[in-house]
Structure 1
């Protein structure tokens, strides 16, 4: 049986947002919880990757880790590798916490389409490489990229190969599903 681990990336600096996005709220729910709910029931366990200064803001029941010391603060690739090193699994379903309109059905559809390597979403002519699934055997490629300070997600995806799936179909044309909320005013418009 394939072991699937959900990874919520909640370690961004939130410079444009003005406060930690993990704890921003939509309909009374913090963004990190929305991401966890989108993965609930699809993964055997979940890990949140956050910055050390945010750890106290998460409930004790959540499994929250920080980047591995050697790659601390090096962005989402460091968070993905840190989760892979923290918990053994066959595949890792990655979801950033700043996409609060994502749904469980979208993530379920993405998992259904994953075959091997990396599977990620493309919607509205935009790539969303962090709404993705990574197989465990990519761990060394991630480590090598980080050691060489190659931190761009699209760069590593082009080197390891990626299957892009149609996010518009996954989201049934819900144009908000893949909205990255970098500004609180984006929430006020909905």
Structure 2
């Protein structure tokens, strides 16, 4: 099955103060760390229109804004856009603001997408994580219907899918992998944590 990697980088980043996709991280940027968690394969960026040139300047080839019909309607629109704009069978999705997610975790989720499973969603500390997940192309119609009805919550959409939920600990994924960096304070704490771990 052809896999398409999808980085969701379309948020407004108001609390962070700058586009989170381009935040500095380990000599690169947040979104580049997400690409490493995919391993190989074609990677698609879903971004805001005003940031597309910056991705292209950084030699990214597949960068799209949300389709006009659903522009600015959140991650559901981002995943739908990726499916609409590319030819794939499975779509591995990572939000750009989770820089600690690993290739091992994403590979384990990809292995679970079998048979009639529409989506593989990890659960960490009793919370589903639909923005670090794997989806089959056949969910595109469901996504369209939800967006057309302005039902934008991922949790509501998942109720219409055949979902394989995976406990993070069962695939060896640590809770830090699912932490979103939303504010500058979150970012500062993350940098301090990494610096501390290097000193230990």
TM-score range relative to shorter protein: over 0.9
Corresponding residue for 1:83? Answer: 82
Q: Hey, what's the Cα distance between the residues in 2 that align with 1:4 and 1:55?
A: 23
Unaligned runs of 5+ in 2: 194-200
Deviation (angstroms), 1:113 = 1.7
Q: Hey, what's the Cα distance between the residues in 1 that align with 2:188 and 2:159?
A: 36
Corresponding residue for 1:178? Answer: 178
Deviation (angstroms), 1:56 = 1.8
Return structure 1 stretches of 4+ with deviation > 6 angstroms. none
Please say which structure displays the higher CA radius of gyration: 2
Q: Hey, what's the Cα distance between the residues in 2 that align with 1:31 and 1:64?
A: 16
Corresponding residue for 1:121? Answer: 122
Deviation (angstroms), 1:92 = 0.5
Deviation (angstroms), 1:20 = 0.8
Q: Hey, what's the Cα distance between the residues in 1 that align with 2:60 and 2:95?
A: 20
RMSD between superposed Cα atoms in Å: 1.3
Change in CA separation of 1:143 and 1:33 when aligned onto 2, cut-off 3 Å: same
Unaligned runs of 5+ in 1: none
Corresponding residue for 1:51? Answer: 48
Q: Does 1:150 align with 2:151?
A: yes
Corresponding residue for 1:67? Answer: 66
Q: Hey, what's the Cα distance between the residues in 2 that align with 1:67 and 1:85?
A: 10
Deviation (angstroms), 1:122 = 0.5
Corresponding residue for 1:99? Answer: 98
Deviation (angstroms), 1:173 = 5.1
* Number of residue equivalences: 186
Q: Hey, what's the Cα distance between the residues in 2 that align with 1:13 and 1:22?
A: 11
- Contact 2:168–2:174 (CA under 8 A) maintained in structure 1: no
Say which structure is richer in helix. Answer: 2
Deviation (angstroms), 1:48 = 0.5
Give 1:132-151 correspondences, 5 Å limit: 132-151=133-152
Task: Compute the TM-score of the two structures, normalised by the length of structure 2.
Answer: 0.88
Three-state SS of the structure 1 residue aligned to 2:131 is: strand
Three-state SS of the structure 2 residue aligned to 1:159 is: coil
